[in-house]
Structures are given as C-alpha cells and as structure tokens.
Structure 1
C-alpha cells in the first residue's frame, strides 16, 4: 500500500489532515493566472503521476475532486476501474445546476462524462459508464441531483444493501458519510437517514452541499478509517482491508 497525501482543498493549501507521514506528499506551484479548472489540472496531473506508479495507492486529500487525479492515474496504467462513492452528498452537480458554484460538488458527474473540456480532457480521463458507478448512503441531495440520478445509470444503495460492481474498484470515502453524531469533527457532518436533524435547521435531502461553509469538509479517503477524536486527522495505519485498485480518503474537517 502506498499512501499519497494531497494537502489541498481545491487549490487552497490545507495542512493537518493526517497525523502520520504519508509515503508521498504532493505539493505544486500553481500558475498565477488561469481559471480554477486549469489550476486544478496542474495539481491532479501530479496526483495522476504518483498514482500511476504506486502499488495499491491510497490518496488522502481535503476535497472530493482529487479523485479525478486518482482515476486518471489508474487509467494511465491500464486499469479500467468502476467507482464506489461513499458520500452524504451526491457530488453530481453541474455548472448549470449548482446554486453555490462549488466545484467540489461535481466530481462524480465529471467522472461519468460531464463537460470533459473542463478538466477531464486535460488529464486524459476516459469517462466511466454510469452503470459502473455506485453511490452509497447519499442523503443530502438537491432537486437537480435527485432528478439526474432518477434518469441515470448510477446505482444508489444504503450501506447495508450495497452491491459492488464487477472489476477493479476505486473506493472513494468522504468522511461526512459517517453519522455526524459519531464523527462531529467533520465540517459537513450530517445525520444518517432516520435520525432527527437538528443542525442549524438543516433537512434531509436538500441544499447544494457545503453552501455557506466555504466548501470545506474533512479528509476524503479512498478507504476505511476508525473513528477519530474531535479535531484529529486520519492516520495511514487507520486504513484497513482495502479492495484492489485505488482508495482515496477525503475528509471535510
């Protein structure tokens, strides 16, 4: 297993996501000008380079869009992965449907072919078939996301009913998928389905995710972390029994 640490939230440096050194830390110099997609392409190009040469890569980052570099790297080494997306949010927004403009709410949609000219073409990503994407425990979706998912081939499951797609997998975990009562340090924490909602009048199934919160969550992992104390980061040794392919950790603390 090779742990790859990407200490950024989009193009903003975000340290402190891990408690122990990773095998590789990705740091880049962003161009002073250019649009956000171009800046992210610089970062994710480096992530793709590291993933393409890593053994059982585990990518730890500060937002979900880093998965674009993970998938690009796997495809470069000849792996054609399906994706299992653990996230309280759908991450299937578009520039046309988002109410916040938050790019971190779009990566799963980009992976299945949305507007490749924005960044996928720059990274050489081949779109995943919707039928090879699985969304697990998403419970805070905008109406536009609900409408898209009803007509798409992306399958939705509760964790207890999960059926994995065939073939190699990228397992993406945004730690906000954990019940917020159990992992309160996650900034975008949400209750699991069936739990009463008391956080600032939030409600099940609505809101362009992370609106008004600067888009920050906590680590995203492409894997399984034990519950951590409030304010703590993820340790590479917390990652257990990862499927073959790539695993990425994302936290939004």
Structure 2
C-alpha cells in the first residue's frame, strides 16, 4: 500500500468518511473538466489523413437500463470506473472493444476471419494481427447514482445472497460512442472485405446496444440503450450521413459506395 493508501486507511479507521470526502472532491474536479474530454475524440477532418474507405461513426445514445463497471476506489462499494484526468465516469475503449467483439462472435463465431480482421488476433495467438477498428472512451457528464441488485439462483429464481449495492449510471443518462474503421490494404478481394466488414459492424452494434448491452452486468440487461438515438456517419472525402437508429445505419452501410484506389 502506498503512502496515500496508508493515510486514507488511517482516517477510515478513525471513523472519518474519507470515501464521501473523496467523492465530493472528484465531483468538483469533474465539473472543472467536464468539457475537456472532447479532445479525446477523432473528427471527420481526420479521415482525410487516413486510408481510403475509412469510416467514422458517432452514436449519441440514451441508457434504457443502468450501466455499471468495476472501478478501483477502495472506499466505495462496487464503484464505477472513472477517468483519472477528468474524474468523469467512463466506458473504457477496451470495454467497448470486448463487448462489440462478443456481439460480433455471436453472429460469426470466434474463429471467423472477419472477426480477426476487425478486432485483431487473440492475446494467445501466435500471429499478431492488428484489427481495423479503433475505439475511444465514452465520458458521462451526469453524476453516478446508486442501485441495488439481488443475485438469484438459476434453478429456483430465489435470492442466492443478500442485496449488492452498486454505483451506476442511471437510465436516461446520455453518452457518446465513437468507432473508427480503418481498412488496411488487403488482397484482391479488398472491396468485398470492406462490404463484409461494414455489414458485420452494423449488425454487431445493434446486438450490443439493443440486446446484450455493454455493462459489467450485461447478463442482467445492464447497458442496453433506447432504440432512438442521434447518429452520424462520416466517410473519407467529405460524405456524411445522419440516422436516428441502428437499423437506419445498416441501410446506410449496405449502400456504401466504395472509394477506388
């Protein structure tokens, strides 16, 4: 334990509510930096510096079910993950990647070449392949709330143990999701690969956001979003499209016009 940890633990033993004090400080800091997170996101203009057929997708979503994650605050019970710079609750890029990959493998299977092409090779794979998808953090401007869940036994649907308090982002909370697709040069069927990639991306996004969710408690329906959202899609060369749900996004990507090399 570092010196700060020892100090916090000492105050905690003295019945000082150091967890609540820290939370108030973090909330104050997050108010000071609540607009700084925009610098973490790519812009449509950045596409001009990337390979042909690169695509940027932004989804401005609203939570239908609570979202939670596993933070590291020793003085909070089941805390949500926060960004160290802004102190805002976040969804990490690795969380997005893991959940979208999970949804995509439900559609294609874990060993399908398109999964490796989009998400890269597995950590235990001998061949290192970089995926074509790039993920970015989601910052929630709203403050986290509290919720309680009671785990149930699968057989009897009776409580397996007592209620568990969680720090969550409540339903109605809004967030921005950014996804960048950069197709590295492929083989002779490069054009067909891009069409396959974009089709699977659209289907996997629907499955992740509308069915499975993207939360640490996704098996309980946590992290599912409202059907209606505000979406933008930008293609290299200045082409842009707007959409109001992920079914519309599928239609847009189905009609994608391939940029010749």
* Shared fold, TM over 0.5: no
* Bigger proportion of residues as helix: 2
Structure 2 length-normalised TM:
0.24
Output the TM-score relative to the length of structure 1.
Answer: 0.25
Work out which of the two has the higher radius of gyration on C-alpha atoms and give 1 or 2: 2
